[in-house]
Amino acid sequence: MTNTRRKASASSPAPHDGHGRILVMRFSAIGDVAMTVPVVKALAAAYPQMRIIVASRPFAKAFYEGLADNVEFHAFDLKARRYKGLMGMEHLYRDLASLQPDRVADLHDVLRTKYARLRFCMAGIPVYHLDKHRKGRRGLTRRHSKILVQQPTSFEKYHAVFERMGLEFSLSPEGGHDFPTVDVSSHELAPSAQRLYDEITSNPAGAIGIAPFAAPEGKIYPIYKMEQVMAMLIAVHPRMRILLFGGGKREEEIFMQWERRYATVVYASSLCGGMRDELKLMGRLHCLLSMDSGNMHLASLVGIPVISVWGATHPLAGFMGWGQSEDDIVGIDMECRPCSIYGNKPCYKGGYPCMKNITPEQVAQKVERYIFSDY
């Protein structure tokens, strides 16, 4: 899906002078934060004299480390006692204010960032915030007479916040911004991850990745069917390595079973010392097979193709990975799709047939397009 630049409105402010200190806030899940990275990188390239201060959760350091000379990252552990309750919101504001921004971009628009915006406004600091386009989302997910219209992508919505500041820059991948977005080429891997990296680099058959899990059930392709996909690919490419990505107790149990069952399958995440290890391993893959999940966005940041499987959610909601192609989407048309934006609502047909009715052959055929070896 092409990430196009949205036109500025007639009421757009005068162009920004390209200097100063802009605070960018986004504190949510991995995928949402990952989608800020191409936008911030493009902004940093367009305005090299501007200081861009990114405030997010600690995991996001993996995305922003070394992104650009004029980008600095600050981690905020919102689970810490300091940030709990009403006083916690005040503490967060004070810690953000200590970074001395002269403008604020709220790319989250939740209670704690709204509070911070209010306090910045009281201090005379201009603030700009995300438009979540809730009306369009409601039309997309209502049960009857759905309005199946493409919603602005997250990249476009983030971009629009900066446009309202008077900052003009292109988001198009063809606009001169290089791929991959996150460069992990010089990152030093943990020893176990380095051994795997060396192995797949020297393997003529190469490797693919599979990330079969997501938080809500409505986003997960049935695990027994995913194993069938894997078995099909192994039968055709017996020397190709398959790297598994994900965490959590359930994932670990299934991944370890698959490791024992298939000689070419390895639980890659268990060998990694952090997210940058995972990013670097992903960068060596033919492609990643993923759900609508954070891993889809991680792989997008290192510039590899992602075969994404969609059930209760839908790309029309605007959450496709950066630079990814609609040709790599796997999904089936049903009158009830999408039933939710995030895949967290109960299936009123029962059992998510939107996922269960996708055949393993459909998924395997999409992956085959990116396997370049006959080994």
- Strand order in 241-244's β-sheet? 265-267, 241-244, 207-211, 288-291, 306-309, 329-330
Confidence bin at 14 (pLDDT 50/70/90):
low
* Dihedral sign for Cα atoms in the order 329, 335, 341, 345: negative
Rounded to whole angstroms, the Cα distance separating 72 from 55 reads 9
Question: Considering only CA atoms, which of 337, 140, 117 is closest in space to residue 219?
Answer: 337
Rounded to whole angstroms, the Cα distance separating 254 from 260 reads 10
The token pair that represents 33 in the structure block: 């934060």
255, HSE (Cβ side, Cα atoms, 13 Å): 22
Q: In the predicted model, what is the mean pLDDT of residues 339-357?
A: 94
- CATH annotation of 21-175: 3.40.50.2000
Across 39-62, b (16+ Cβ under 10 Å) vs e yields bbbbbbbbbeebbbbbbbbeebbb
Rounded to whole angstroms, the Cα distance separating 152 from 145 reads 20
Please report, rounded to a whole number, the percentage of residues in the chain having pLDDT higher than 90: 89
User: Is 8 a residue whose pLDDT tops 90?
Assistant: no
Rounded to whole angstroms, the Cα distance separating 97 from 110 reads 18
Beta bridge partners of 290: 211, 308
Tell me what the pLDDT averaged over the chain comes to: 92
User: Is 373 a residue whose pLDDT tops 70?
Assistant: no
User: Is 13 a residue whose pLDDT tops 80?
Assistant: no
pLDDT at 204: 94
Q: In the predicted model, what is the mean pLDDT of residues 206-231?
A: 96
User: Is 64 a residue whose pLDDT tops 90?
Assistant: yes
> Is residue 273 exposed (0-12), middle (13-18) or buried (19+ Cβ within 10 Å)?
middle
Q: Does residue 95 sit in helix, strand or coil?
A: helix
Contact between 209 and 243 under an 8 Å Cβ cutoff? The reply is: yes
pLDDT at 180: 77
| Single-letter amino acid, residue 55 | A
Instruction: Render pLDDT for 237-274 as a digit per residue (tens, 0 to 9).
Output: 999 999 999 988 889 999 999 999 999 999 999 999 99
Confidence bin at 161 (pLDDT 50/70/90):
very high
* Dihedral sign for Cα atoms in the order 283, 289, 292, 293: negative
Rounding to the nearest 10 degrees, give the CA dihedral for residues 51, 53, 59, 63: -30
Rounded to the nearest 10 degrees, the angle between the axes of helix 191-202 and helix 275-282 is 0
The token pair that represents 262 in the structure block: 């298939």
Contact between 288 and 208 under an 8 Å Cβ cutoff? The reply is: yes
86, HSE (Cβ side, Cα atoms, 13 Å): 0
CA 121 to chain centre: 30
**Distance between the two ends of the chain, CA-based, in angstroms?**
31
Domain ranges in the chain with CATH number 3.40.50.2000? 21-175, 191-368
Rounded to whole angstroms, the Cα distance separating 178 from 166 reads 24
Q: Could you say which architecture CATH assigns to the domain 191-368?
A: 3-Layer(aba) Sandwich (3.40)
Q: What is the DSSP string of 147-168?
A: ---PPPPHHHHHHHHHHHTT--
pLDDT at 12: 47
Instruction: Render pLDDT for 85-111 as a digit per residue (tens, 0 to 9).
Output: 999 999 999 999 999 999 999 999 999
User: Is 3 a residue whose pLDDT tops 50?
Assistant: no
Judging by DSSP bridges, how do beta strands 71-75 and 127-129 pair with one another? unpaired
Contact between 31 and 296 under an 8 Å Cβ cutoff? The reply is: yes
Alpha-carbon distances of 6 from 129, 163, 171, 184, 255, rounded to whole Å: 16, 9, 9, 30, 42
pLDDT at 17: 72
